Amino acid sequence: MKSVFVSTFPFCRTSQVALDLLVSKGFKVTVNPLGRKMKPNEVAEAAKNFDALVAGTEELTPLIETTNTLKFISRVGVGLDNVPLGLCKEKGISVAYTPDAVSPAVSELALCLIVDAMRKVTYADMEIRRGEWTRPYGERIGGATIGILGFGRIGKRVASHLLGYLPKEILVCDLLDQKEVIQQLNHVSSSIHKLNLSLGKNWNPTEVRQVELEVLLKSSDAITIHVPLTEASKNLINSRTMSLMKPNAVLINTARGGIVNEDDLYHILKENVISAGAMDVFEEEPYKGPLVGLENLILTQHMGSCSNDCREDMEREAAENVVGFFGGGKWEKVV
């Protein structure tokens, strides 16, 4: 009987589909007993004698360095910055992930946070709770310029969601040439414009175009981040880059902690260099740092993937990858 340790948290909170699948296929499953994100040494100790690991965003290097039994890692999610792929390859450990299941939930949360930060929704909530009522003014997406940093699965979905809000521009910054997708989005924008004309609304169509990072930073009223955490993207958004942004701009990060330098973000927002921000991801989680003292920053709990349907899909696909690997079936290969 093959053994599987589940380090990710939460797992099967609202649906037992993934766990039932593993058990029905004869796997012995042990689930993270801590009720929180495991620390690297905790994962290394708990999972060192297992055949497979179903992992979240826990740092896995200590485990990979010490294990002699692990054969397979199945990531619940798309990011792989916590998995030492080179070391896994050296030790013959295969790695899989669930790249598509997470996109709908993360893209919707990103859009939600753009609206929240621009319209000061969370700030108004805090005011009421302390007995104040200033009715704060904010900005609309309609007529604004929205920047998308990273145009993979999630960034593309964010762009498609934004079209209905009729921004003036959607600016895309990506390492790859995204001309084909941008043409498709501009075609959709033109169709929306024609529909509005037929309804007697002469609103301008949204233009989607690809730009360099500096242009995106200087031109955008809201910037949403959707790049992976790599050596190149570590601290990519820092005091220098944030100082290029408009004073009314908002910054949204639902990608990975470490892309935005948290110390620099604190000072940028404290000094009102930009208007507001929203952070769903942090270098250390759960987060307990100084950003909690800022009223112009929305903080959420790395919950981009946490819709009931997307979590179920991610967990089920991660379990299917385990079954496929050991049973000679299909699995989403990384290494």
Tell me the average pLDDT across 81-90: 97
Tell me the average pLDDT across 81-102: 96
Does the global pTM surpass 0.85?
yes
- Pair 185, 289 in one domain: yes
Active site residue 283: no
Asked whether residue 335 carries a pLDDT value surpassing 80, the answer given is no
Active site residue 302: yes
Tell me the average pLDDT across 58-80: 97
When pLDDT is cut at 50, 70 and 90, the band that residue 266 belongs to is very high
Tell me the average pLDDT across 180-195: 97
- Pair 135, 146 in one domain: yes
User: pLDDT for 161-184, tens place per residue?
Assistant: 999 999 999 999 999 999 999 999
- Pair 158, 212 in one domain: yes
pLDDT value for 320: 97
Asked whether residue 302 carries a pLDDT value surpassing 90, the answer given is yes
- Pair 245, 276 in one domain: yes
Tell me the average pLDDT across 69-97: 97
Active site residue 256: yes
Tell me the average pLDDT across 40-58: 97
| Catalytic residue selected from 256, 262, 312, 316 | 256
| Catalytic residue selected from 302, 312, 315, 317 | 302
- Asked if the structure places residue 154 within a domain, the reply is yes
Asked whether residue 4 carries a pLDDT value surpassing 80, the answer given is yes
For position 49, which CATH number holds? 3.40.50.720
- Pair 279, 140 in one domain: yes
Share the mean pLDDT of the chain.
97
- Asked if the structure places residue 209 within a domain, the reply is yes
- Pair 131, 266 in one domain: yes
- Pair 78, 36 in one domain: yes
Task: Say what percent of the chain tops pLDDT 90.
Answer: 99
Number of independent structural domains in the chain: 2
Asked whether residue 288 carries a pLDDT value surpassing 80, the answer given is yes
SS (H, E, C) the chain: CCEEEECCCCCCCCCCHHHHHHHHCCCEEEECCCCCCCCHHHHHHHHCCCCEEEECCCCCHHHHHHCCCCCEEEECCCCCCCCCHHHHHHCCCEEECCCCCCHHHHHHHHHHHHHHHHHCHHHHHHHHHCCCCCCCCCCCCCCCEEEEECCCHHHHHHHHHHHCCCCCEEEEECCCCCHHHHHHHHHHHHHHHHHHHHCCCCCCCCEEEECCHHHHHHHCCEEEECCCCCCCCCCCECHHHHCCCCCCCEEEECCCCCCECHHHHHHHHHCCCCCEEEECCCCCCCCCCHHHHCCCEEECCCCCCCCHHHHHHHHHHHHHHHHHHHHCCCCCECC
Asked whether residue 146 carries a pLDDT value surpassing 90, the answer given is yes
Find the domain containing 126 and state its range: 103-299
User: pLDDT for 309-333, tens place per residue?
Assistant: 999 999 999 999 999 999 999 999 9
